[in-house]
Structure 1
Amino acid sequence: MEGIGINLPLLLAFVINFVILFTLLGIFLYKPVLKMLDERQAKIKDSMEQAEQIKEQAAHSEEQIKAHLETARKEGQAIIAQATQIGERLKEEAKEGARQEAESLMAKARTEIQRDRDKTIEELRQEFVDIAILAAEKVINETLDREKHRKLIGEVLEENTTFKQS
């Protein structure tokens, strides 16, 4: 083999050196690099899984927030409806109270007017009786007992009132 320029002991030394170098590289470099690559791959895989979990949690949280917002919106609408209903009821109660108060005032006014009317009629009646007594005294020129005159005129007025009512 020397004729082709290959030195067998040197070739054998190169092969042994290559095997030793390859073995040493495999033990000290290749395995740690593979271990480091495997660890990095595992970390990346874990990070991806965590990112996926976080994404799922975020989606779940978003759904919960949407549900809470929807619940809050419905509660708000219910509160607004209830407040509107209470407002309407209070308005109706106020109207009813005002109506009742107006009716009460009208009834009091009617009662007072009737009382004043009755009082005025009674006063007019008394004045009429007094005038009639004075006129009768002047006509017959004698003073009769005032009480008898009042009684007599009262009877005449009663007859006159019952006659008008009939």
Structure 2
Amino acid sequence: MGDLGINLPGLITQIISFVILFVILSKVLYKPLVAMLDQRAEKITAGLEAAEKAKEEAAKSEEAIQEQLQEARSEGQKLVTQARETADRFREEEMAKIKEELESERSRAESNIQRERDAAIEELRKEFAGLAITAAEKVVKTSLDEEGHRALIEGVLNEEGSRNN
């Protein structure tokens, strides 16, 4: 091997040194390095699993939030509908009360007008009776007592009033 420039004892020494170095490096460096890489791989796997789990939980939470939001919208719509119905009912009740009050006021006004009309007619009858008595006294030149004249005139007026009605 000398022709090739290879020194056999040097080669054996280098091979033995390489094997010793390889054994030492594998014990000291390779195994801890592999263990560290395994731990890192486990951490990465655990992190990915945690991220996936968090993603699933976020999706579930988002779904729950969407359901709650939909329920809230539905409830809000129901409240708005109820408020409108209540407002409509209140408006109708108030309109009915106002109509009742107006009808009552109209009835009172009509009865007041009728009462005033009757009082005015009665006043006119009294005045007319007084004028008729005075005219009758002048015509007849005889005087009945005032009560007699009033009774006579009221009887005539009542007869005329019943004929006109």
Q: Normalising to structure 1: TM-score of the pair?
A: 0.90
Secondary structure, counterpart of 1:25 in structure 2: helix
> 2:112: which partner in 1?
112
Cα distance in 2 for residues equivalent to 1:37 and 1:73: 53
Q: What stretches of structure 2 of length at least 5 have no aligned partner?
A: none
2:63 pairs with 1:58 = no
> 1:22: which partner in 2?
22
Between the two proteins, what is the percent identity of the paired residues?
A: 48
> 1:93: which partner in 2?
93
Matches within 5 A, 1:122-161: 122-161=122-161
Cα distance in 1 for residues equivalent to 2:164 and 2:69: 82
Cα distance in 1 for residues equivalent to 2:145 and 2:79: 83
Secondary structure, counterpart of 1:97 in structure 2: helix
Cα distance in 1 for residues equivalent to 2:85 and 2:164: 58
Secondary structure, counterpart of 2:50 in structure 1: helix
Specify the code of the residue in structure 1 equivalent to 2:24.
L
Secondary structure, counterpart of 2:136 in structure 1: helix
CA RMSD of aligned residues (A): 1.7
> 1:48: which partner in 2?
48
State how many pairs are aligned. 165
Q: Normalising to structure 2: TM-score of the pair?
A: 0.90
Deviation at 1:19? 2.0
Specify the code of the residue in structure 2 equivalent to 1:48.
L
Moved more, 147-156 or 38-47: 147-156
Cα distance in 2 for residues equivalent to 1:15 and 1:33: 24
Specify the code of the residue in structure 1 equivalent to 2:21.
L
Secondary structure, counterpart of 1:107 in structure 2: helix
Deviation at 1:14? 2.5
Specify the code of the residue in structure 2 equivalent to 1:51.
A
Moved more, 40-49 or 59-68: 59-68
Moved more, 9-18 or 30-39: 9-18
Cα distance in 2 for residues equivalent to 1:76 and 1:140: 93
Cα distance in 2 for residues equivalent to 1:24 and 1:34: 15
Cα distance in 1 for residues equivalent to 2:69 and 2:19: 70
